[in-house]
Amino acid sequence: MSFYEIDGVKPIVHPSSFVHPTASVIGHVIIGKNCYIGPHASLRGDFGKIVLEDGVNFQDGCIA
């Protein structure tokens, strides 16, 4: 999995969540409990904050 820090802000992922190794999580992203981030998904918090509440299912190839 690819986690990237931008401008000193790095993603926060709850340990109970699964992030697929091919997913990208960038910048100001917060992933809650029991979430699923699928293959090739991209969460880009480079221009704003993204918060995934508990139990979110972010499927294959989704981009936010």
Structure confidence by residue, pLDDT tens digits, 11-46: 999 999 999 999 999 999 999 999 999 999 999 999
* Separation CA 31–CA 13 (nearest Å): 5
DSSP 9: B
Domain ranges of the chain: 2-58
Token couple for 26: 């960038």
Predicted local distance difference test score (pLDDT) of residue 1: 63
pLDDT for 2 beyond 90: no
- Write the burial class of residue 4 (CB in 10 Å: 0-12 exposed, 13-18 middle, 19+ buried): middle
Does 56 or 1 have the greater pLDDT score?
56
Report which secondary-structure segment, H or E, holds 31. strand 24-31
Residues in the chain: 64
Q: What is the pLDDT of residues 33-42, one digit of tens each?
A: 999 999 999 9
Q: What is the pLDDT of residues 3-13, one digit of tens each?
A: 999 999 999 99
